[in-house]
């Protein structure tokens, strides 16, 4: 599976959590891969909910979101999020703009949480750089 999510916004989110630590390009790439996989899995569940309701369009509520944030508040770009949502769902489903924004918001929170934990792991290892191994260690420990 190719990575649809650009690394730059993921890197920005990691840096937001890392404080004075540096961030390796490998960390941003690894986290982007993981975020994409998580987003595709969330879209499968959302498509199941939409299908159960007899709809062919994924809505924000299919992702468990009642109030959609402003698109301007998000670091993650919407177009790649749309492609991520469609990676593993049937082509007959559409993804509404509110659903894309809701998924981007969910994935940004997810990215923030993983990035914060990875920064903690890097500090614990007495390193000044968040590396891909910190992301991998997080998932080995908590997923």
Residue 50 inside a domain? The answer is: yes
| Mean predicted confidence (pLDDT) in 95-116 | 98
Band of residue 5 on the pLDDT scale cut at 50, 70, 90: very high
Output the domain CATH number for residue 54.
Answer: 1.10.20.10
CA distances from 4 to 21, 43, 79, 117 (A): 26, 15, 9, 23
Instruction: Residue 34: give the domain boundaries.
Output: 7-142
> Is the confidence at residue 32, as pLDDT, over 70?
yes
Structure tokens at 2: 């190719």
Residue length of the chain: 143
> Is the confidence at residue 125, as pLDDT, over 80?
yes
> Is the confidence at residue 3, as pLDDT, over 90?
no
Residue 122 inside a domain? The answer is: yes
Structure tokens at 8: 């730059």
């Amino acid at each position: 599976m190719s990575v649809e999510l650009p690394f730059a916004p993921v890197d920005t989110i990691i840096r937001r959590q890392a404080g004075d630590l540096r961030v390796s390009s490998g960390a941003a790439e690894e986290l982007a891969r993981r975020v994409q996989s998580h987003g595709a899995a969330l879209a499968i569940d959302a498509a199941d909910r939409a299908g159960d309701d007899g709809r062919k369009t994924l809505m924000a509520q299919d992702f468990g979101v009642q109030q959609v944030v402003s698109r301007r508040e998000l670091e993650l770009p919407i177009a790649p999020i749309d492609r991520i949502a469609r990676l593993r769902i049937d082509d007959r489903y559409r993804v509404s703009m509110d659903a894309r924004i809701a998924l981007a918001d969910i994935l940004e929170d997810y990215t923030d949480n993983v990035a914060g934990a990875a920064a903690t792991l890097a500090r614990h290892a007495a390193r000044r750089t968040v590396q891909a191994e910190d992301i991998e260690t997080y998932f080995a420990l908590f997923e």
